[in-house]
Structure 1
């Protein structure tokens, strides 16, 4: 049994090891990965750790797990290894944009909640998207509701920094079901505070939401962009 090293969280290390085996061509597209028990023995970790790693790999589109059959590889090494420049610039741009948004959006949400007209505040609810496939429109609606054209143009610039390069095959967190449902719930709390004219809760919920986005993407980049 080969023990994995200390440092990163155990499930992150399992993700890294499985990703490494795919990148090295040990397991190719369409291949069946070792079973949970085999991975547990190979890496010296618990079943819970293996399952969390498999969940993350599955949500990122690297593998597909079929109950009763196992986990199959969906990507070839080329898809994981190609385009190193984009894999460096995309995380940097995304995280820097999110840091700027942390300074900007909570204050904008509070401003709209306090100073926005009632019909304008309520209209933001039209951009809540249960399908989870267009999460940015909600944020754009809040910025537009400030009526500040400079702010609106600057915000669009920040969103452009966060666009996923088309050459990268991985599924980004906002398109992953478990993450998208949490983002949607956070949007609902932000909207309710704005609709009700509660500036402080609008500020707090937006701050909480963007910190969550930053943390979940940082973890994603650490596991798949190194």
Structure 2
């Protein structure tokens, strides 16, 4: 079932030590600012829940995993403050995923673009289907994946991030993403994916929660500057989105 709500949906289902966090939006599971804010808040709540040690992050439906930020909101930006605030949405989510004391398992069932690639990169372990191609198309509209770059580069390295970013019109398939380290395993079907996600989450949930929390810190070492860094990056994007190049590019996309 996919949501028809304009601001999208977010559901948390807790079973034992596993919290499943599912987001959805009628526009290919993209994120309006309100949904990003709710998502950030929910991660902070779950982080404080001592009964939970694992989060499974998934999106609605069987098609796109996440189309990134809301296009309608992007087009509506008129000043630097609005631009900074808009791009800070993904910065806040990535930082909440980074500082959350629980291991986050991503379930990526389909294509993911822009901020969605950042979400996958900010998970601690990602399982995907072979339909889970990725693309960073930001340069085509005159901006860049500045906010998510630290998360993506941390996972796949700078060379692969450059390849993904600069080849902005082409999709990289799920096996490329696995080879580079974004995905741990790739499955042929959603059924196989769901079976493995369930099995893996339960395995993690059976481990010592203290060990899990300490391991999380180790995995994210040397990222304590991201609170400032990602907001600085949001400012860069906020400035670029006001450029003539981007305004013209967005106008062309809006007419399509």
TM-score computed with the length of structure 2 as normaliser: 0.23
Decide which structure has the larger Cα Rg and report it: 1
Structure with the largest fraction of helix = 1
